[in-house]
Amino acid sequence: MNRSWLFSLFLLSSSLAFAHEGHEGGQHMGFTDMDRDGDGLISREEAAGNPRLSEHFDSIDVNKDGKLSRDEVKSSFRTMHEHGRQQFDEAFTKADSDSDGKLSLAEAQAGMPRLGNDFNELDANKDGYVTREEIKAHMDSHRPHRHPPQEGTDTSKPTTDSKN
């Protein structure tokens, strides 16, 4: 597997996530921020502010109208996210040389060096192994919140109502 391609895929999916969901603060702009003329679409010129989005503009522009709609960005993000997840799962399985569903430090260093470099941070329960769940939890904890809680909302308990 080409690790640099996988990393590029991760970077693009991150850019698309920011374009789709937005990101307050920092250098990333949300879809609405990039849509400077307010027409609900991102032109090639507007996308130039996000190098990774600009680089993949033509492949995201499915209808080839020279503009990116929210739906095109969402669809591309979903596709890239799923492909990246599949690539990660394949790399994890290959690195898991004893097929126990978790990576030791030696397995991570040999098969997934970036995970090996961050092994101690990823090993949340400090058992000497990293699982897919620990990696996902780590990634989730470092991802910007997509929908900040509304003022007065109790965030101490998860809700089961998907309309919230």
The CATH number of whichever domain residue 139 belongs to comes to: 1.10.238
Quick: pLDDT tens for 108-154: 999 999 989 999 999 999 999 999 999 989 988 877 654 444 444 44
Position 150 in a domain: no
Give the integer Cα–Cα distance in Å for 154 and 164.
Answer: 11
Residues 30 and 1 in one domain: yes
Task: Provide the number of structural domains found in the chain.
Answer: 2
Domain-embedded: residue 149:
no
**pTM value > 0.85:** no
Contact of 132 with 92, CB cutoff 8 Å: yes
Do the Cβ atoms of 99 and 68 come closer than 8 Å? no
